[in-house]
Structure formats: C-alpha cells, structure tokens
A and B are shown apart, each in its own frame.
Chain A
Amino acid sequence: MSDPNPSPLSAADALIACHDCDLLYRKRPLREGEKARCARCGALLYTRKPNSIERTLTLALAALILFALANVYPLLDFQFQGRAQQSSVLSGVRELYAQGMWTLAAVVFVASILAPLLKILTLLYVLLPLHFGCRPWWMAQVFRWIETLHPWAMTEVYLLGVLVAFGKLSNIATIVPGVALYSFAALIVAMAATDAALEPEAIWERLEPCR
C-alpha cells in the first residue's frame, strides 16, 4: 500500500489479528489467489479468491444434488447365500436406533447427514441472495453457523468407514457398490472444492454498515 498516512489504531477494521498467536497486522490488499500468513506462527490470516461468491455458490449447488443422490440410492448391496440386503446412510442410523443405541444413531445421523446438509443449505441461504445483490435475513447468525458446523460434517470420514465395512465383508459375502457410493465420493470432492472457494472475510465485509 502507498498510503503515506498509516491509519490510527482506532480504525480497527483495517487491522487483523492472528487467530493462533494474536499478533496484530495491518490488512493489506492481496492479489487474486494470494494468501497472507502470520510471520510468527505460520497461521493463514486471510486470502483473496477470484469470484468467491459465484464459484462457492455453483459448487454448493452441485454438492446439494450429489447429497440427495448419496442419500436416496443404496450404498452397498450385500449378497449372501441367495439373500440380499441393501444399505443406505439412513438405514444404518435406523438400525442403530432399532437396536436401542439411540445416542450412537444420533452421532452418526449428525455427522453423516445433518451437519453436511445444514452446511450446504446455510451456504446457499447466504450466498444466493448475495449473488443477486441483497442481504439475507439474519445473515450474521446464519453464516456464523458454517464455522461451527464444519468439524462435525464428516462426509469424508464416513466414506472411509464404508470402505472398511466393504473390506470386512468382502471375504465372506458378495458386496456390490451402489450408486450412492459413487455419489458420496463426488460429494466429498464438491464439498472440499466449496470450502476452498469460500472466502469468509469477503462475506463478513458485506455486513459492515457503511464504508
């Protein structure tokens, strides 16, 4: 920046603090694709991503479609001595509940269905109006949720669980992967790309009253 008069400390919105070590930085405009890292602890401070809102929106829509496919179709087909059994994400939850393990059923439900779905819906709720130039109701309250939901949406961990179950049963029975398994793999890619395209700072700045 070529500003000859650095802004005083009271202009708090031009400053940024490292979330891991609390060091203060004066926020400097970045080129597209650039990342600002903390010099002291290496944490990622902020980034600038090209067309963040539009790209995140597109990817979140793709994720929503893949999420629907991953939950409607069967995940695995189990064939053993002429008998067949299908399983979907939800049937695993239902069976745990039926066997009296409702807490475990709730954990699996939240991590594999509820948190990923809420994350996608929250993004769409905030980004769709922003794309059309208006601000959604309760934007701050809703957008705050995304960071909270993030660690609990365990889609990629779930897929590894499917893989281990697949391996365990493949020695004793015939296991056929279903449509949902492929949708699940694509969903993970879409959700990771959504996270990578999102630039939260840019969205929070839209909340700033007047500049």
Chain B
Amino acid sequence: MNPGLPVTAVRAALARCHACHRLSRMKPLPPGSHAHCPRCGAVLHLRKPDSLARAWALTLAAYILYVPANTLPIMTVVSMGHGEPDTILSGVRALIAGGLWPLALLVFFASVVVPVLKLFALTYLLVSVWRKSRWRPRERTVLYRVTEAVGRWSMIDVFMISILVALVKLGSIATIEPGAGALAFAAVVIVTMFAAMSFDPRLIWDALENLDER
C-alpha cells in the first residue's frame, strides 16, 4: 500500500450505505449472505453490485433502441384521411419551418444532442474504468454527474406527444396518433437513466488505489 495516498472507505473496510449513507465495518461473510445497514436495514455493498456488467448491458441496449427511436415515426398527424408521420428530427425541422427557433433549439438539444452525448459519455466512462485509466479522475467524475443529471430532460418529446394526442381530437379533420418511435425513444431515455444509476463513479478512483495488487 502506498502510504502517501489518502484513506478511502474501502481501504478502511468501511461500506457506505447507499440509502442512509452511514458507514459500517464490513466483516468477511459466508457466501450468499448479505450484510445489512444497522441504521436503516438496507443491504450493504462496498461498490454498486455488478456495476460494470449492468451499465454495459444497459448502454448496449440503449444503442440498439436508439435506431428505431430515430427512424420510426414518433407521431402521425392524420388530417382529412391523410397521414403525415413525424420523426424526432422532422419534428425539429417542423419547428424551424414554423419560425419557432427557441423551441426548435430546445427540442434539438434535449432529444438529439443529449441522448447521443449521454451514450458516448457512458461508453467512454465504462471503457476508461475497464482500462483502469488514471487520467483526470476528477473531470471524469464531473462528466458522470452531468450524464446522470441531464438524462431526464430528453423526455420533453414524449410528454409533448401525450399532450398533443389529448388536445387534437377533431375527428375526420385532424387527429394525432402516437407512433412506435415514441416508445423506443422513451425506452432509450429510461434505459440510459438506469445505466447511469448502475455505474459506480467510485470505480474511477479505485484505479488510483492499486486495489488489485493487494
């Protein structure tokens, strides 16, 4: 052990309760059994369980769902018996055509930029942890925090569809039908939120600890 390093909870054999944040000393346990937090009863782990495997699986699932989310229509405006399907991108284009620049920018950022950046950020974090990178851990932790906080804002389009569908019910003149793309898009947002939640940022810092040399 390097004596110059600051002491982490894991080196002191302390587990931080994920629910109430109390520290508890971890003792060796028989396989299959769990330690529980003496204050709130939650199951204790030194790190989020199977963090990398879960985050990888969810990130890959999000990549796959990303394709139908952007190619299938998120909604169809049916007017006079004639349907006009809208995808995420064509929705942004329609806002620009209508002169609604600020809204177009908002939707473009929330629905196009954020999901792509989030997938790339998760992939980068996972690869860097897997390679035990020691490069700029503080900046990578900030990247994780931003990734986790920003994901929910992509739901704007899904909520917009639920409002349009309820408002525009003019029988044969005009109706709006939700499309399968909206479901795939909501799934991308939810799956990446779960991916970010299962990723443990402390793994970024574990590479500085040489834990595997012990």
Contact = CB atoms under 8 A, between A and B. Distances in A.
Contacts of B182: 101, 104
A168 B95 contact: yes
Interface of B: 6-10, 12, 14, 16, 19-25, 39-42, 94-95, 98, 100, 103, 106-107, 110, 137-138, 141-142, 144-145, 151-153, 155-170, 173-174, 177-178, 182-183, 186, 190, 193, 197, 201-202, 204-206
A158 interface: yes
A144 B19 contact: yes
Given A12-B25, A168-B95, A104 B186 contact: yes
B166 A92 contact: yes
A43 B141 contact: yes
Interface in A117-172: 140-141, 143-144, 147, 151, 154, 157-158, 160-165, 167-169, 171
DSSP majority for the B interface?
helix
Given A23-B7, A105-B162, A164-B103, 11 more contacts: A20-B205, A87-B167, A88-B166, A96-B178, A141-B41, A144-B20, A144-B42, A158-B159, A167-B95, A167-B103, A204-B40
Interface stretch (A48-56, A61-69, A78-86, A186-194): A78-86
A95 B142 contact: no
Contacts of B155: 111, 154, 157-158, 161
B98 A161 contact: no
Contact of B164 (A169, A201, A208): A169
Given A13-B23, A76-B163, A169-B167, A161 B156 contact: yes
A164 B20 CA distance: 38
A165 B156 CA distance: 10
Contact of B193 (A22, A92, A147, A151): A151
Contacts of A207: 20, 39-40
Given A165-B163, A204-B22, A160 B178 contact: no
Contacts of B201: 19-21, 41
B45 to A, nearest CB: 12
Contacts of A88: 166
B120 to A, nearest CB: 20
A160 B156 contact: yes
5 contacts: A10-B25, A75-B163, A91-B166, A99-B177, A164-B156
Contacts of B100: 167-168, 171
Contacts of A208: 39
Given A21-B204, A107-B190, A93 B162 contact: yes
